[in-house]
Structure 1
């Protein structure tokens, strides 16, 4: 089955939780992933995908943005837990680029449990790091899908990691398990982000607002 035909959130969560760390590490070896960290991230992704019902195309586009970001910052070493922030921010951008009706950042904040003030900063930084270039042609998109398919086929052939100490992930309870249509909004004007310089809060697992780097800018 091709990746575009996969709609099951559990399968998609496994794909994202496997491929994203490999993109960031620059190597596609399943055994390099920490089992506990993989499980925690997979359950987070599954929760987000079930809540938003985001399309598979949008998910694959978000992976493309992460890949482009990694190419732009090859020497950055993300901290443990940063994959949550990285994935959420890339989904925000993919949803706003690809879909006619998009979720408000407030909704993404509720789903991900990332404070909206931090999410706004991460979105601006991500865009700035990509030089505000989030367009992808149809040819580029299908080439990317093919690349992801090759990666997934390779990773799927490696025995799945197991751990006797799995994490019981408890997401923060919210009023909305499923997002209402009325909570969507159109993409903000790009002028809103025009003078933003990247401070790389998406590469950290801690609050961008409390970091010394941010406070000193």
Structure 2
């Protein structure tokens, strides 16, 4: 039910795959930057386009995307940041592992290398390190998945990053309805309120110069 609510919210945007890519990009960068530098940064336009283009080319389901985001949350919750040097790597490996471990035709690592223009040797190395950092706990049961979707819904409603890390909600808590999509659309960035209790640190993202990903055709604009 929660995934339907989230997807209905995303469907109000054009196009849906691009909106989902931007949403994942923003969420990954917020979690990544908080653990890496202690404050929240915003995703660069290049990274948003990279995520959207990867989702489009890989043809992954929304379930795979949400599970990949859960893997990122687990990784960050354990305080891990050493294995990755940038958010592009983290996004790619989390999405690849989620795709491998769930009900979809499995792509070889070489395919992911072709899609993302990330070196195969780097993908192989980071995949092993990522799975080890999660203590090989890759399976996500139905109850945990449903709870994670509720966390995402709460995060969309409130903009509070802490919503992604709660362990339980009050039994009497009724999630408010989702607001209209804030600022989605061609040429617009996702507008997410500053997380309560955290200082947003907006800085230029130098990963637009990360040459390994420049082979992507980013033609949304």
TM range (shorter): 0.5 to 0.7
Distance 2:118 2:24 in 1: 19
Task: Report the CA distance shift for 1:61/1:77 in structure 2 as closer, same or farther (over 3 A).
Answer: same
Could you say which residue in structure 2 is the equivalent of 1:97? 101
Could you say which residue in structure 2 is the equivalent of 1:114? 118
**Contact 2:68/2:94 (<8 A) preserved:** yes
Q: Cα offset for 1:82?
A: 0.8
Could you say which residue in structure 2 is the equivalent of 1:49? 55
Task: Report the CA distance shift for 1:18/1:106 in structure 2 as closer, same or farther (over 3 A).
Answer: same
Secondary structure of 2:44 counterpart: helix
Task: Report the CA distance shift for 1:106/1:78 in structure 2 as closer, same or farther (over 3 A).
Answer: closer
Report the count of equivalent residues: 164
Secondary structure of 2:138 counterpart: coil
Distance 2:78 2:48 in 1: 25
Does 2:193 match 1:158?
yes
**Contact 2:50/2:216 (<8 A) preserved:** no
Mapping of residues 119-198 of structure 1, within 5 Å:
119-155=123-159, 156=191, 158=193, 171-172=214-215
Could you say which residue in structure 1 is the equivalent of 2:26? 18
Structure 1: gaps spanning 5 or more residues: 175-217
Deviation string 1:77-96 (CA, Å, 9 cap, x unpaired) is 787x7110000000111001
TM-score, normalization by structure 1: 0.65
Task: Report the CA distance shift for 1:73/1:52 in structure 2 as closer, same or farther (over 3 A).
Answer: same
Distance 2:157 2:112 in 1: 30
Distance 1:38 1:173 in 2: 15
Q: Cα offset for 1:71?
A: 1.6
TM-score, normalization by structure 2: 0.64
